[in-house]
Amino acid sequence: MRGFPGMIGSIDCMHWEWKNCPTAWRGQYQGRSGKASLILEAVADQDLWIWHSFFCIPGSSNDLNVLHRSPVFDDVLTGKAPPITFQVNGHEYNMGYYLTDGIYPNWATFIQGFSRPQLETERLFANRQAHVRKDVERAFGVLQARFAIVRQPSLAYDEDILGDIMKACIILHNMIVEDERDMYVRADVLRRYYEEDLSSLTATVNNGEPFEFQTGQPYSINALLGRITALRSSQIHHSLKEDLIEHNWQKYGGNNH
């Protein structure tokens, strides 16, 4: 977990230029570069496996606009996400989180670095967070390197076709990642996991609460509202971030840095 117990992965967005975007839609799809594009939101891990993807958002949107339309938290909000409990700096948490850049909000599920760190502990944390967060940027780079069709401006006219192309490339990318995983590398990852962070990660049953699964019946609106509140809690965010700062300092700072 490289100093970030409980981390699910890193989340970010990538633009794919849409050369043949219909003229009537160009203003809606025009990004900061002045060219029409579509946005891919993705979550990737250390192996560059893409666990989540959300595509076909107009390029005029920023990462935050994409987030508000993204299904990335749907399983959490409907009670379908697997339960998890982990400890950081002696404190227990029961919701995983993503490493992000600074545009994402201060929610319990997002951990950003520092744009202007003041303390040595903050500088170390910012460097560690930026280093680990590069997983998703590397995944985008490898995806584009492997498939020139998503590296070059798209010539298709149909947005649905673009979505199918991107989905196919991600599926093939993940198949390659899975095929190339070396058993020795996996063994080393597992060794470090058990030696370094196993003591801070345990399973639980939704922190003592009944775990709800979607069965086609309407789920409790009160449970949904409670999950939204917990997911967006800035108090939990700041507490978790402080604990992660201390955890990384104890692990990598001082004489260990």
The per-residue pLDDT for range 193-239, each reduced to its tens digit, is 555 554 444 444 444 444 444 444 456 888 889 999 999 999 999 99
| pLDDT for residue 34 is more than 70 | yes
Residue 2 lies in a domain: no
pLDDT value for 83? 86
Query: 145 is in which domain, residue-wise?
Result: 7-256
Residue 145 lies in a domain: yes
Residue 80 lies in a domain: yes
The stretch 165-178 carries a mean pLDDT of 96
The stretch 86-108 carries a mean pLDDT of 95
pLDDT value for 201? 46
pLDDT value for 181? 76
Residue 176 lies in a domain: yes
pLDDT value for 223? 87
User: CA-CA distances (angstroms) from residue 15 to 36, 38, 66, 154, 224?
Assistant: 9, 6, 12, 11, 32
Residue 135 lies in a domain: yes
Amino acid, res. 224: L
The model's pTM: 0.83
Residue 192 lies in a domain: yes
pLDDT in tens, 40-86: 999 999 999 999 999 989 999 999 999 999 999 999 998 888 888 99
Q: Is 48 left (phi over 0), alpha (psi -120 to 50) or beta?
A: left
The distance of Cα 114 from the centroid of its chain, to the nearest Å, equals 18
Which secondary-structure segment (H or E) carries 239?
helix 234-252
pLDDT value for 196? 54
Residue 120 lies in a domain: yes
Count: domains in the chain: 1
- Order the strands of the 85-88 sheet from edge to edge: 91-93, 85-88, 201-202
Q: What are phi and psi of 253, to 5 degrees?
A: -90, -175
Name the burial class of residue 243, with classes exposed (0-12), middle (13-18) and buried (19+) by CB atoms within 10 angstroms of its CB.
Answer: middle
pLDDT value for 193? 55
Residue 234 lies in a domain: yes
pLDDT value for 194? 52
pLDDT value for 177? 93
